[in-house]
Amino acid sequence: GKHRIVIPCLGHFKEEYEKVSKLYMNNKIRTTRYTLWNFLPRNLFEQFHRIANLYFLFLVVLNWVPLVEAFQKEITMLPLIGVLTIIAVKDGLEDYSRYKMDKQINNLVTKVYSR
């Protein structure tokens, strides 16, 4: 099988390290839930797993049926959009603080002891 080469002091071995390090997974810590590309769909997916949000979505859809329409169509969407926006902003800020903490931890200087 493959064996692992650990080079604690790069110095003049930098080219060899870069060539060898591409073969292995990194050990960076990642506690964030979202990326820039999956934030909106994943956040909406998680929010619509809450029964209250599904209830308000049901009311919005039901209000688009002409026989059942109780209010203007746009007015029934306002509470749902407001709640979804507030929760998305809160989740985004929490995830960004996790990202900053992960970045800080991953950039800590470590000591490597060898025999």
What's the length of the chain? 115
pLDDT at 54: 93
What are the residue ranges spanned by the domains of the chain?
29-107
> pLDDT (tens digit, 9 = 90+) per residue, 33-87?
999 999 999 999 999 999 999 998 998 888 888 887 777 778 888 989 999 999 9
Range of lowest pLDDT (1-10, 16-25, 98-107): 1-10
pLDDT band at residue 94, thresholds of 50, 70 and 90?
very high
